Amino acid sequence: MVDPETVKGIVRSNFDESPLSYDDFEGKFNLFQNLTEQLAADCGIQRGMTVVDVGCGTGASTRVLADIVGYEGTVIGLDFSEDMLRAAADNLGDLTNISLILCDAERLGEKIRTDVDAVMYTASIFLIPDSAGSLAGAHDILKEGGIVGMNYLIGMFDNESGTNQFFQAKEEGLDFAPYGRKIMDTDSIPTTLKETGFKHINSGITPILMDLAQVRDFYAIPAQSAGLYPKAPYKERLELLDALIGHIREKGPTSLVQRWGWYTARK
């Protein structure tokens, strides 16, 4: 078993290489903006709240939350990648109701010294090896009745058959099939929430239709391609990705559904 600290170091390195790619992708597709807006609605984020944005990346989710809470509220953006956080500072320089903190998501309680209304994990919970420890920290800093929300990537599915196309390539034994493993078991989230003391747990799935060009752009982000092909250098990852997308296109689909699971729960 790989040491969790080693995993975090690898993940951090991949994200350090990704700010420009994330900004380019988000500028074209607004994926993380849309995911944050949906999760914020599910969590009931309102004007005047204090919200922690865990894994804020280059700031797309932070901006959405800052717009919702308004000048009366505050958004605290956390990330463990200095390069991602630096990009967020550049992208969010016009906002006065945010603060950005370099922070390991597993140590929320050590960095946040105030009670907050909500803790949001937009596209980040599944990248945290000790997600249970992070959720325990979220529980500690939440006000009584405060809410935690998270979404996580499930996979890429054929819109008609419902087949996970990336898993299908692996089952077919193709040379370019993804072989990356999950950093944490997302199926354990509801149990972890209950054991941590959260109540009123809700869940669902958000489907996002992507044409194959958008799928390719998403997984061409260094941090995302590393999730598919963790042992390969970036140039080789792109070659494998192009072979995978080409194979899917030859089978007929021109688009896939990217499924994101989500959970909300209250303290």
The string of DSSP letters for 159-219 reads TTT--BHHHHHHHTT-TT------SS-GGGHHHHHHHHT-EEEEEEEEEEEEEHHHHHHHH
Mean pLDDT, the chain, integer: 96
pLDDT of 26 = 98
40-52 residue pLDDT tens: 999 999 999 999 9
**Within a domain: residue 203?**
yes
Q: What value does the mean pLDDT take over residues 62-70?
A: 99
**Within a domain: residue 239?**
no
pLDDT of 103 = 94
Query: How many domains in the chain?
Result: 1
pTM: 0.95
**Within a domain: residue 92?**
yes
**Beta strands 199-211 and 255-266, pairing class:** antiparallel
Residue 84, domain extent: 4-153+182-209+259-266
Q: Quick check: helix, strand or coil at residue 221? A: coil
CA distances from 103 to 2, 43, 109, 128, 235 (A): 22, 23, 10, 12, 30
**Within a domain: residue 160?**
no
Q: What percent of the chain has pLDDT over 90?
A: 92
Q: Is the dihedral of CA 263, 124, 143, 68 positive or negative?
A: negative
In whole angstroms, what is the distance from residue 34 CA to residue 56 CA? 14
**Within a domain: residue 71?**
yes
Confidence band (pLDDT; 50, 70, 90) for 91?
very high
**Within a domain: residue 60?**
yes
Instruction: Give the relative orientation of helices 60-69 and 82-91 as an angle to the nearest 10 degrees.
Output: 50
Q: Quick check: helix, strand or coil at residue 76? A: strand
> Is residue 193's pLDDT more than 90?
yes
**Within a domain: residue 215?**
no
Confidence band (pLDDT; 50, 70, 90) for 1?
low
